[in-house]
Chains A and B, each alone.
Chain A
Amino acid sequence: MKLLSDTAVLLQKELRAEFRSHELLTTASIFILIVIVLFSFTFDPTTAESKQFGPGLLWLAFLFSASLMLQPSFLKEKTNDTLSALRLAVGDPFAIFLAKLCANTIFLLVTELILLLVFGVFFNIAVMPVFWKLAFVFFLGSLGVSTTGTALSAVSSQARMREVLLPILLLPLLVPVLIPSAEATRALFEPDHALRWDWLGILIAFDVVFLTALWLFGEYLLEE
């Protein structure tokens, strides 16, 4: 119970700080918007090509923007040593991770869903008929990205090359998220709009494995 109540308190703090500053949401949204617009004008794809290559492009944009968004997750706790204050106050350090990954998942999902509409316009794909199914796929993908990214943000915030370390570690690790997410998204653009549970199963397995690893070993990532 203490874990859940601590997580709720910390999540409230994360959301309040972000919705006051809009730093992460603004940065990530602008980045994804630029990628979508540039790719749209560069390749000028037909509708068939968009359905074929659009999902991969969309998820690549999501991953790069996630690496921007996740970087400050623990780094900002270093500025005033607030991470130490949190470690002294929480019962289980996993609450710190859980709150941050919930907040990061929410931020990513909000950004993705807003930018999905822009993607639909620029790539001439009807996204509204499958909006909720896409939202489900995006949620599973974002959870995987956030879980891995939050853990690596804790690691990179203590390293010397912290600005470049996160993307270098994160992007290769997220290949098992990128492929099933892009494939499951592509399947929803097919005429039958089917949820591909084979790909979603991989995503769910990835999320469960990395969440469990974070729960078991997260404490060590926070130690000095």
Chain B
Amino acid sequence: MNQRVGDSAGIKFSRVEKKFGRLYALRRLDLEVSPGECVALTGRNGSGKTTLLRIATRLTRPTRGEVTFPGAPPGTMPAVGYVSHALMLYEELTALENLLLFARLLQVSHPSERAAQLLEAANLASRADSLVRTFSRGMKQRLAIARALVQEPSILLLDEPGTGLDTESAARLVSTVRQLRDEGRTIVMSVHGESELSSLATRAARLDAGALIADTRLGATFQAVFAAGDIS
């Protein structure tokens, strides 16, 4: 049985707009993600998925509108884990050094134990002392997710996490995200529609040219069909 995370928070985008020069990346977007929901964000390249995720992390400031976190204590920002497709890892450090660096910055109690635990969960314990630049894309992706989980975030934002993965690595990723979803974390992941990761979503939101054009809560049948496909 999966251990559930406490104090799960959601994300609420209210009239969020982002302009880069004259270009609109997001247009007055309203979207509320409830605590514990798993949302698949779809849309073509350049539709605004990455910008939306970066605004949720507060790495990017919206031109207009605001992002709040329902369920989080007032005036606080919940722990957010973010995996971008650039992976956000230091290639010249080892896997263990990467996790220890972020565990110490995030003031995780017992950073060494936490890093070891995450490496074990990512099936990278045997490569803990190897430099990240010697890793395959799949191993880097697993380590990137481990890094995002260092402080046990209640919100997880994944930007095209399946990019460049082979079948085995992709299956492992699906299994990891399923486990994180079942632990009760709020997950927003940008995916391409046909991805197996989509089957894990409880809701799908589609962006086009920075606007939200579809927002569908997915039924159990939809998930079961994809889940069955995933197992086979």
User: CB-CB < 8 A to A80: which residues of B?
Assistant: 86-91
Pick the residue among B57, B82, B92, B104 that contacts A9 (CB under 8 A): B104
The interface residues of chain A lying within 8 Å CB-to-CB of B106 are 89
Query: Which residues 69-103 of A have a CB within 8 angstroms of B?
Result: 79-82, 84-90
* Residues in B neighbouring A21, C-beta threshold 8 A: 92
- What CA separation (Å) do A224 and B25 show in the bound complex? 13
Listed stretches A12-20, A41-49, A157-165, A192-200; interface member: A12-20
B92 touches A89 (CB 8 A): no
Most chain A CB inside 10 Å of its own CB: which residue of B60, B88, B91, B105: B105
Number of interface residues of A (CB under 8 A): 23
Q: Are A85 and B88 within 8 A (Cβ)?
A: yes
B105 touches A9 (CB 8 A): yes
Residue A207 is within 8 A (CB to CB) of chain B in the complex: no
Which B residues are in CB contact (< 8 Å) with A5? 104, 107
Residues in chain B near residue A89, CB distance under 8 A: 102, 105-106
Q: Chain A contacts of B90 at CB under 8 A?
A: 13, 17, 80, 82
- The contact size tier of chain B is 20 to 34
A90 touches B105 (CB 8 A): yes
Q: How far is the CB of B40 from chain A (nearest CB, A)?
A: 22
- Could you tell me the distance between the alpha carbons of A166 and B147 in the complex, rounded to whole angstroms? 32
With the chains together, A82 CA to B104 CA distance in Å? Answer: 16
Residue of B nearest to A17 (CB): B92
> Could you say which residues of chain A place their CB within 8 Å of the CB of B93?
13, 16-17
CA distance A83 to B16 in the complex (A): 24
Main secondary structure of the interface of B (DSSP, over half): loop
Contact of A81 among B86, B92, B105, B107 (CB under 8 A): B86
The A interface is mostly helix, strand or loop, or mixed, namely helix
Is the CB of B54 closer than 8 A to any CB of chain A? yes
Residue in chain A with minimal CB distance to B151:
A89
Choose from B54, B60, B102 the contact partner of A85 (Cβ within 8 Å): B102
Interface residues of A in 1-53 (CB under 8 A from B): 2, 5-6, 9-10, 13, 16-17, 20-21
Q: How far is the CA of A84 from the CA of B57 in the complex (A)?
A: 10
User: Does B59 have its Cβ within 8 Å of any Cβ on chain A?
Assistant: yes
Shortest B182–chain A CB gap in Å is 25
- Minimum C-beta distance from B178 to chain A (A): 24
Q: Which residues of B contact A6 (CB under 8 A)?
A: 105
Residues of chain B within 8 A of A82, CB atoms compared: 88-90
Is the beta-carbon distance between A16 and B97 smaller than 8 angstroms? Answer: yes
Q: Which residue on chain A has the smallest CB distance to residue B89?
A: A80
Give min CB distance, B106 to chain A, whole Å. Answer: 5
Verify if B101 is at the interface (C-beta below 8 Å from A).
yes
Question: In the complex, what residues of B have CB within 8 A of residue A13's CB?
Answer: 90, 93, 97, 101
Q: Which residues of B contact A9 (CB under 8 A)?
A: 101, 104-105
| In the complex, residue of chain A having the shortest beta-carbon distance to the beta carbon of B20 | A224
A-B contact pairs, 11 of them (CB 8 A): A13-B101, A17-B92, A80-B86, A81-B87, A84-B82, A85-B88, A85-B102, A86-B105, A88-B57, A224-B60, A224-B61
**Chain B residues near A (Cβ < 8 Å):** 54, 57, 59-61, 80, 82, 84, 86-93, 97, 101-102, 104-107, 147
Q: Pick the 8 closest A-B CB pairs, nearest first.
A: A81-B86, A85-B88, A89-B105, A9-B104, A17-B92, A224-B60, A81-B88, A80-B86
